[in-house]
Structure 1
Amino acid sequence: MGSLSIWHWLIVLLVVVMIFGTKKLRNMGSDLGGAVKGFKDGMKDGASTDAPTAAGPNAQVSGNSTTDKTTIDVEARQKS
């Protein structure tokens, strides 16, 4: 009684198909597959965007401010 045989699984599958219908099961399967694919793509995008930000603080700042219009160039002076 501990494990289910193939016949038990077939009966359960038949009951599920009768309750939900094949169209709804197909839609649920495609939605689940799309969600998994979106998650994997998101993980790939997250890994590729994390690499430049990790090197950002150690990178040397260039003096060319013509490419980035949001950067403000200031000169820090020590208080005497």
Structure 2
Amino acid sequence: MGSFSIWHWLIVLVVVLLLFGRGKIPELMGDMAKGIKSFKKGMADDEDEKPAKTVEHQADEAIETPKSSKKKAG
């Protein structure tokens, strides 16, 4: 009673095919494969980019901008 026989698996297979249809399962698997490839590509692109500036660098640039505009005006 604890293990499933071949008939149990055949019934499960028939129910799955009836619910999803014959062409729907390969379509779902193809979509999942595209998603995985896209995720891997995105991860590889993140590693190739140069490191982002920290908050300290952005603060320094914000402080320098008004000083440099005053020098140009004066």
Instruction: Indicate the TM-score class for this superposition, using the shorter chain for normalisation.
Output: 0.5 to 0.7
Identity fraction in percent: 38
Q: Relative to total residues, which structure has the larger helix share, 1 or 2?
A: 2
TM-score of the pair, normalised by structure 1: 0.51
Higher RCO structure, 1 or 2 (CA under 8 Å, sep 6+): 1
Number of aligned residue pairs: 55
Matched with 2:58 is: none
Matched with 1:47 is: 47
Gaps of 5+ in 2: 55-64, 69-74
Q: Which runs of 4+ in 1 moved over 6 A?
A: none
**Does 1:18 pair with 2:18?**
yes
Root-mean-square deviation (Å): 2.6
1:29, distance to aligned residue in structure 2 (A): 0.9
Aligned CA distance change for structure 1 residues 48 and 9 (closer, same or farther; 3 Å): farther
Gaps of 5+ in 1: 58-71, 75-80
Aligned CA distance change for structure 1 residues 47 and 10 (closer, same or farther; 3 Å): farther
